[in-house]
Amino acid sequence: MDGHLALLDQTRLPAEVVQLVCRDVQSVWQAIRRLCVRGAPAIGIAAAYGVCLGVQTARDADLAAFQTRVDKICDYLATSRQTAVNLFWALDRMRAVAHQAAGCSAREWAARLLAEAQAIHQEDRQMCAEIGRHGADLLAELPAGAGILTHCNAGALATGGDGTALSILFELARRGRRPHVWVDETRPLLQGARLTTWELLQRGIEITLICDSMAAHVMRQGNVQAVVTGADRIAANGDVANKIGTYGVATLAKAHGIAFYVAAPTSTLDIALATGDQIPIEQRAAEEITHGFGRATAPAEVAVYNPAFDVTPAELIAGIVTEKGVVQPVTPATIAAWAARPPA
Ligand code: MRU
Protein backbone atom coordinates (compact mmCIF):
# COMPACT_ATOMS: atom_id res chain seq x y z
CA MET A 1 0.00 0.00 0.00
CA ASP A 2 1.22 3.52 -0.62
CA GLY A 3 -0.70 5.70 1.79
CA HIS A 4 1.17 8.69 3.10
CA LEU A 5 0.81 11.55 5.57
CA ALA A 6 1.60 15.03 4.22
CA LEU A 7 2.59 17.54 6.91
CA LEU A 8 3.62 21.17 6.73
CA ASP A 9 7.19 21.07 8.07
CA GLN A 10 6.96 23.61 10.90
CA THR A 11 10.73 23.63 11.48
CA ARG A 12 11.09 25.44 8.12
CA LEU A 13 8.54 28.18 8.79
CA PRO A 14 8.33 31.09 8.25
CA ALA A 15 11.20 31.18 5.74
CA GLU A 16 9.99 28.24 3.67
CA VAL A 17 6.64 26.55 3.21
CA VAL A 18 7.65 22.94 2.68
CA GLN A 19 5.63 19.75 2.79
CA LEU A 20 7.02 16.75 4.61
CA VAL A 21 5.71 13.43 3.29
CA CYS A 22 5.74 10.53 5.76
CA ARG A 23 5.35 7.05 4.28
CA ASP A 24 6.04 4.95 7.36
CA VAL A 25 5.60 5.08 11.11
CA GLN A 26 9.28 5.85 11.73
CA SER A 27 9.07 9.06 9.72
CA VAL A 28 5.97 10.12 11.66
CA TRP A 29 7.83 9.45 14.94
CA GLN A 30 10.72 11.61 13.68
CA ALA A 31 8.36 14.37 12.52
CA ILE A 32 6.80 14.53 15.99
CA ARG A 33 10.14 14.36 17.84
CA ARG A 34 11.73 17.03 15.63
CA LEU A 35 8.69 19.31 15.97
CA CYS A 36 7.94 19.25 12.25
CA VAL A 37 4.44 18.67 13.56
CA ARG A 38 3.83 20.07 17.03
CA GLY A 39 1.17 21.42 19.37
CA ALA A 40 -0.76 19.03 21.59
CA PRO A 41 -3.81 18.25 19.40
CA ALA A 42 -1.77 18.11 16.16
CA ILE A 43 0.65 15.62 17.71
CA GLY A 44 -2.28 13.34 18.60
CA ILE A 45 -3.76 13.60 15.10
CA ALA A 46 -0.40 12.92 13.41
CA ALA A 47 0.20 9.91 15.65
CA ALA A 48 -3.25 8.49 14.81
CA TYR A 49 -2.42 8.70 11.09
CA GLY A 50 0.99 7.24 11.92
CA VAL A 51 -0.73 4.10 13.22
CA CYS A 52 -2.49 3.79 9.84
CA LEU A 53 0.86 3.97 8.04
CA GLY A 54 2.31 1.39 10.42
CA VAL A 55 -0.33 -1.24 9.63
CA GLN A 56 0.04 -0.91 5.86
CA THR A 57 2.51 -3.77 5.89
CA ALA A 58 0.29 -5.95 8.11
CA ARG A 59 -2.54 -6.40 5.62
CA ASP A 60 -2.17 -10.19 5.55
CA ALA A 61 -2.01 -10.64 9.31
CA ASP A 62 -4.56 -12.60 11.30
CA LEU A 63 -6.50 -10.70 13.99
CA ALA A 64 -4.15 -11.48 16.88
CA ALA A 65 -1.07 -10.52 14.87
CA PHE A 66 -2.80 -7.35 13.67
CA GLN A 67 -3.68 -6.31 17.22
CA THR A 68 -0.15 -7.05 18.45
CA ARG A 69 1.18 -4.94 15.61
CA VAL A 70 -1.08 -2.00 16.51
CA ASP A 71 -0.03 -2.24 20.17
CA LYS A 72 3.64 -2.16 19.18
CA ILE A 73 3.13 0.81 16.86
CA CYS A 74 1.25 2.71 19.57
CA ASP A 75 3.95 1.93 22.18
CA TYR A 76 6.56 3.19 19.75
CA LEU A 77 4.75 6.41 18.80
CA ALA A 78 4.11 7.09 22.50
CA THR A 79 7.87 7.53 22.96
CA SER A 80 8.05 10.44 20.51
CA ARG A 81 7.11 13.13 23.04
CA GLN A 82 6.19 13.16 26.72
CA THR A 83 4.12 16.05 27.94
CA ALA A 84 1.12 16.57 25.64
CA VAL A 85 -1.46 14.04 26.79
CA ASN A 86 -3.33 14.29 23.47
CA LEU A 87 -0.68 11.97 22.02
CA PHE A 88 -1.54 9.15 24.44
CA TRP A 89 -5.26 9.92 24.25
CA ALA A 90 -5.26 9.53 20.45
CA LEU A 91 -3.15 6.36 20.56
CA ASP A 92 -5.51 4.85 23.15
CA ARG A 93 -8.41 5.47 20.77
CA MET A 94 -6.54 3.77 17.94
CA ARG A 95 -5.63 0.83 20.15
CA ALA A 96 -9.25 0.46 21.26
CA VAL A 97 -10.44 0.29 17.65
CA ALA A 98 -7.94 -2.47 16.89
CA HIS A 99 -9.03 -4.43 19.94
CA GLN A 100 -12.71 -4.12 19.03
CA ALA A 101 -12.00 -5.64 15.63
CA ALA A 102 -13.49 -9.05 14.91
CA GLY A 103 -14.34 -11.10 11.84
CA CYS A 104 -13.59 -9.55 8.42
CA SER A 105 -10.08 -8.99 7.10
CA ALA A 106 -6.94 -7.06 8.04
CA ARG A 107 -7.78 -4.73 5.15
CA GLU A 108 -11.11 -3.92 6.80
CA TRP A 109 -9.48 -3.42 10.24
CA ALA A 110 -6.98 -1.04 8.65
CA ALA A 111 -9.87 0.88 7.08
CA ARG A 112 -11.47 1.21 10.52
CA LEU A 113 -8.24 2.60 11.92
CA LEU A 114 -8.13 5.17 9.15
CA ALA A 115 -11.75 6.12 9.87
CA GLU A 116 -10.84 6.59 13.56
CA ALA A 117 -7.85 8.80 12.70
CA GLN A 118 -10.08 10.88 10.44
CA ALA A 119 -12.67 11.13 13.24
CA ILE A 120 -10.02 12.34 15.71
CA HIS A 121 -8.96 14.94 13.13
CA GLN A 122 -12.51 16.07 12.35
CA GLU A 123 -13.58 16.21 16.02
CA ASP A 124 -10.59 18.41 16.80
CA ARG A 125 -11.58 20.80 14.01
CA GLN A 126 -15.04 21.04 15.55
CA MET A 127 -13.66 21.50 19.08
CA CYS A 128 -11.48 24.38 17.89
CA ALA A 129 -14.54 26.15 16.45
CA GLU A 130 -16.48 25.70 19.73
CA ILE A 131 -13.52 26.95 21.78
CA GLY A 132 -13.38 30.01 19.54
CA ARG A 133 -17.04 30.78 20.14
CA HIS A 134 -16.95 30.25 23.92
CA GLY A 135 -13.74 32.24 24.25
CA ALA A 136 -15.04 35.15 22.18
CA ASP A 137 -18.20 35.23 24.35
CA LEU A 138 -15.98 35.28 27.45
CA LEU A 139 -13.90 38.17 26.14
CA ALA A 140 -16.86 40.07 24.71
CA GLU A 141 -16.59 42.69 27.47
CA LEU A 142 -13.08 43.72 26.43
CA PRO A 143 -13.00 47.03 24.55
CA ALA A 144 -12.55 46.85 20.78
CA GLY A 145 -8.84 46.87 19.97
CA ALA A 146 -7.93 45.37 23.37
CA GLY A 147 -4.43 43.95 23.80
CA ILE A 148 -4.29 40.17 24.19
CA LEU A 149 -0.99 38.43 24.84
CA THR A 150 -0.28 34.85 23.79
CA HIS A 151 2.68 32.53 24.30
CA CYS A 152 3.95 29.80 21.97
CA ASN A 153 1.64 28.69 19.15
CA ALA A 154 -1.86 27.41 19.83
CA GLY A 155 -3.23 28.01 16.36
CA ALA A 156 -4.12 26.11 13.21
CA LEU A 157 -0.59 24.75 12.99
CA ALA A 158 -1.03 23.10 16.39
CA THR A 159 -4.47 21.56 15.84
CA GLY A 160 -6.83 20.05 13.28
CA GLY A 161 -8.79 23.31 13.02
CA ASP A 162 -8.31 27.00 13.75
CA GLY A 163 -6.43 26.42 16.99
CA THR A 164 -7.37 26.82 20.63
CA ALA A 165 -6.10 30.18 21.91
CA LEU A 166 -5.85 31.58 18.39
CA SER A 167 -9.32 30.33 17.46
CA ILE A 168 -10.65 32.75 20.09
CA LEU A 169 -8.68 35.61 18.52
CA PHE A 170 -9.94 34.71 15.03
CA GLU A 171 -13.51 34.63 16.32
CA LEU A 172 -13.09 38.01 18.06
CA ALA A 173 -11.79 39.43 14.77
CA ARG A 174 -14.77 37.94 12.89
CA ARG A 175 -17.03 39.70 15.39
CA GLY A 176 -15.33 42.99 14.60
CA ARG A 177 -13.57 43.32 17.98
CA ARG A 178 -10.14 44.00 16.34
CA PRO A 179 -7.92 42.36 19.01
CA HIS A 180 -4.32 43.57 19.08
CA VAL A 181 -2.23 40.49 19.76
CA TRP A 182 1.07 40.67 21.62
CA VAL A 183 3.06 37.61 20.55
CA ASP A 184 5.80 36.30 22.85
CA GLU A 185 8.67 35.03 20.70
CA THR A 186 8.82 31.88 22.88
CA ARG A 187 12.41 30.85 23.46
CA PRO A 188 14.20 28.65 22.69
CA LEU A 189 12.46 27.39 19.52
CA LEU A 190 10.53 30.57 18.72
CA GLN A 191 7.10 29.07 18.09
CA GLY A 192 5.63 32.51 18.75
CA ALA A 193 7.96 34.44 16.46
CA ARG A 194 8.04 31.87 13.67
CA LEU A 195 4.57 30.35 13.73
CA THR A 196 2.03 32.48 15.61
CA THR A 197 3.02 35.66 13.78
CA TRP A 198 2.90 33.77 10.47
CA GLU A 199 -0.65 32.57 11.14
CA LEU A 200 -1.98 35.84 12.51
CA LEU A 201 -0.54 37.96 9.70
CA GLN A 202 -2.17 35.70 7.13
CA ARG A 203 -5.50 36.26 8.83
CA GLY A 204 -5.09 40.04 8.92
CA ILE A 205 -4.91 40.27 12.72
CA GLU A 206 -3.00 43.23 14.18
CA ILE A 207 0.05 41.93 16.02
CA THR A 208 3.21 43.03 17.78
CA LEU A 209 6.05 40.56 18.35
CA ILE A 210 8.02 40.88 21.59
CA CYS A 211 10.88 38.98 23.22
CA ASP A 212 9.67 36.90 26.18
CA SER A 213 11.55 39.19 28.56
CA MET A 214 9.48 42.20 27.46
CA ALA A 215 6.10 40.92 28.64
CA ALA A 216 6.34 42.50 32.11
CA HIS A 217 7.17 45.90 30.64
CA VAL A 218 4.36 45.70 28.07
CA MET A 219 1.87 44.74 30.79
CA ARG A 220 3.00 47.55 33.08
CA GLN A 221 2.49 49.99 30.23
CA GLY A 222 -1.16 48.94 30.16
CA ASN A 223 -1.01 47.33 26.75
CA VAL A 224 -2.39 43.92 27.73
CA GLN A 225 -6.00 43.41 28.81
CA ALA A 226 -6.00 39.58 28.81
CA VAL A 227 -3.66 36.64 28.24
CA VAL A 228 -4.74 33.49 26.37
CA THR A 229 -2.53 30.42 25.89
CA GLY A 230 -3.00 26.79 24.94
CA ALA A 231 -2.22 23.74 27.07
CA ASP A 232 -0.41 20.42 26.74
CA ARG A 233 -1.87 18.69 29.77
CA ILE A 234 -4.32 19.70 32.48
CA ALA A 235 -4.35 17.88 35.83
CA ALA A 236 -7.44 17.12 37.92
CA ASN A 237 -6.83 20.14 40.17
CA GLY A 238 -6.63 22.50 37.17
CA ASP A 239 -2.84 22.91 37.03
CA VAL A 240 -1.82 23.39 33.40
CA ALA A 241 1.36 22.30 31.61
CA ASN A 242 2.16 24.43 28.59
CA LYS A 243 5.21 25.73 26.73
CA ILE A 244 8.10 26.81 28.96
CA GLY A 245 7.58 30.42 29.98
CA THR A 246 3.81 30.15 30.39
CA TYR A 247 4.08 30.01 34.20
CA GLY A 248 6.12 33.21 34.12
CA VAL A 249 3.52 34.92 31.94
CA ALA A 250 0.72 33.82 34.30
CA THR A 251 2.66 35.14 37.29
CA LEU A 252 3.20 38.46 35.54
CA ALA A 253 -0.47 38.66 34.60
CA LYS A 254 -1.43 38.14 38.26
CA ALA A 255 1.01 40.86 39.36
CA HIS A 256 -0.59 43.30 36.93
CA GLY A 257 -4.23 42.35 37.60
CA ILE A 258 -4.68 40.88 34.09
CA ALA A 259 -6.88 37.81 33.55
CA PHE A 260 -4.91 34.75 32.39
CA TYR A 261 -6.97 32.24 30.38
CA VAL A 262 -6.13 28.82 28.98
CA ALA A 263 -7.88 27.34 25.93
CA ALA A 264 -7.91 23.58 25.45
CA PRO A 265 -10.11 20.72 24.26
CA THR A 266 -11.15 17.91 26.61
CA SER A 267 -8.53 15.68 24.97
CA THR A 268 -5.91 17.75 26.87
CA LEU A 269 -7.41 16.88 30.26
CA ASP A 270 -5.61 14.16 32.24
CA ILE A 271 -8.03 13.53 35.07
CA ALA A 272 -5.85 10.64 36.29
CA LEU A 273 -3.19 13.05 37.52
CA ALA A 274 -4.10 14.74 40.81
CA THR A 275 -1.85 17.78 40.35
CA GLY A 276 0.50 19.36 37.85
CA ASP A 277 3.50 18.07 39.83
CA GLN A 278 2.79 14.65 38.30
CA ILE A 279 2.91 15.88 34.71
CA PRO A 280 6.05 14.60 32.96
CA ILE A 281 8.09 17.48 31.62
CA GLU A 282 10.01 16.79 28.42
CA GLN A 283 13.67 17.76 28.55
CA ARG A 284 15.14 18.69 25.18
CA ALA A 285 18.63 18.88 23.74
CA ALA A 286 21.09 21.48 25.03
CA GLU A 287 21.83 22.51 21.43
CA GLU A 288 18.41 24.13 21.18
CA ILE A 289 19.81 26.76 23.54
CA THR A 290 23.54 26.76 22.76
CA HIS A 291 23.16 26.45 18.98
CA GLY A 292 19.68 27.74 18.22
CA PHE A 293 18.99 27.44 14.50
CA GLY A 294 22.51 26.26 13.77
CA ARG A 295 24.45 29.20 15.18
CA ALA A 296 26.54 29.12 18.37
CA THR A 297 24.91 31.43 20.90
CA ALA A 298 26.76 30.03 23.94
CA PRO A 299 29.99 28.14 24.55
CA ALA A 300 29.43 24.52 23.51
CA GLU A 301 30.65 23.13 26.87
CA VAL A 302 28.27 25.16 29.08
CA ALA A 303 25.82 23.24 31.32
CA VAL A 304 22.26 23.68 30.06
CA TYR A 305 18.80 23.04 31.50
CA ASN A 306 16.14 22.87 28.77
CA PRO A 307 12.68 21.83 30.00
CA ALA A 308 10.22 22.26 27.12
CA PHE A 309 7.22 22.92 29.38
CA ASP A 310 6.31 24.32 32.77
CA VAL A 311 3.26 24.04 35.00
CA THR A 312 1.00 26.97 35.81
CA PRO A 313 -0.83 26.45 39.12
CA ALA A 314 -4.63 26.55 38.92
CA GLU A 315 -4.84 29.58 41.22
CA LEU A 316 -3.22 31.74 38.54
CA ILE A 317 -5.78 30.74 35.90
CA ALA A 318 -8.96 32.83 35.56
CA GLY A 319 -10.69 30.24 33.37
CA ILE A 320 -10.19 27.36 30.94
CA VAL A 321 -12.03 27.71 27.64
CA THR A 322 -13.07 24.28 26.39
CA GLU A 323 -15.34 23.07 23.60
CA LYS A 324 -17.96 22.36 26.28
CA GLY A 325 -17.88 25.87 27.76
CA VAL A 326 -15.70 27.86 30.16
CA VAL A 327 -14.40 26.19 33.33
CA GLN A 328 -14.45 29.04 35.85
CA PRO A 329 -13.22 29.23 38.57
CA VAL A 330 -10.56 26.57 38.07
CA THR A 331 -10.92 24.13 40.98
CA PRO A 332 -10.91 20.33 41.36
CA ALA A 333 -14.73 20.44 41.46
CA THR A 334 -15.14 22.45 38.25
CA ILE A 335 -12.53 20.31 36.48
CA ALA A 336 -14.41 17.15 37.54
CA ALA A 337 -17.65 18.70 36.23
CA TRP A 338 -15.91 19.47 32.92
CA ALA A 339 -14.71 15.87 32.64
CA ALA A 340 -18.21 14.56 33.34
CA ARG A 341 -20.06 16.94 31.00
CA PRO A 342 -21.17 15.19 27.81
CA PRO A 343 -19.90 16.64 24.53
CA ALA A 344 -21.97 19.63 23.39
O1 MRU B 1 6.74 22.04 21.98
P2 MRU B 1 5.48 22.42 21.27
O3 MRU B 1 5.69 23.44 20.22
O4 MRU B 1 4.72 21.22 20.78
O5 MRU B 1 4.59 23.09 22.41
C6 MRU B 1 3.30 23.51 22.06
C7 MRU B 1 2.60 24.23 23.15
O8 MRU B 1 3.07 24.35 24.25
C9 MRU B 1 1.19 24.70 22.84
O10 MRU B 1 0.90 25.86 23.56
C11 MRU B 1 0.19 23.61 23.24
O12 MRU B 1 0.55 22.38 22.69
C13 MRU B 1 -1.19 23.94 22.83
S14 MRU B 1 -1.46 23.78 21.09
C15 MRU B 1 -3.10 24.06 20.80
Q: According to the model, what pLDDT value does residue 143 have?
A: 96
Mean pLDDT of 59-66: 88
Sorted by sequence, the CB contacts under 8 Å of residue 68 that are 6+ apart come out as none
Q: What is the pLDDT of residues 234-275, one digit of tens each?
A: 999 999 999 999 999 999 999 999 999 999 999 999 999 999
Q: What is the pLDDT of residues 202-243, one digit of tens each?
A: 999 999 999 999 999 999 999 999 999 999 999 999 999 999
Q: What is the dihedral of CA 101, 93, 37, 238, to 10 degrees?
A: 180
> Residue 281 pLDDT more than 70?
yes
Q: Is the CB of 41 under 6 A from ligand 1?
A: yes
Q: According to the model, what pLDDT value does residue 112 have?
A: 95
Q: What is the pLDDT of residues 108-155, one digit of tens each?
A: 999 999 999 999 999 999 999 999 999 999 999 999 999 999 999 999
Q: According to the model, what pLDDT value does residue 105 have?
A: 84
Residue 164 DSSP class: S
Nearest-atom number in ligand 1 for the CA of 242 is: 8
Given ligand 1 and candidates 34, 45, 153, 310, which is best to mutate, with the most ligand atoms within 8 Å of its CB? Answer: 153
Q: What is the pLDDT of residues 69-103, one digit of tens each?
A: 999 999 999 999 999 999 999 999 999 999 997 77
Q: Is the CB of 308 under 6 A from ligand 1?
A: yes
Please classify residue 45 by burial: count the beta carbons closer than 10 Å to its beta carbon, then call 0-12 exposed, 13-18 middle and 19+ buried.
Answer: buried
CA of 38 to the centre of ligand 1 (A): 6
Q: Is the CB of 160 under 6 A from ligand 1?
A: no
Nearest-atom number in ligand 1 for the CA of 155 is: 15
Q: What is the pTM (predicted TM-score) of this model? A: 0.97
Q: According to the model, what pLDDT value does residue 2 have?
A: 72
Give φ, ψ of 311 to 5 degrees: -115, 125
Smallest CA separation from ligand 1 atom 15, residue = 154
Q: According to the model, what pLDDT value does residue 1 have?
A: 54
> Residue 160 pLDDT more than 70?
yes
As a whole-number percent, the residues of the chain with pLDDT over 90 amount to: 93
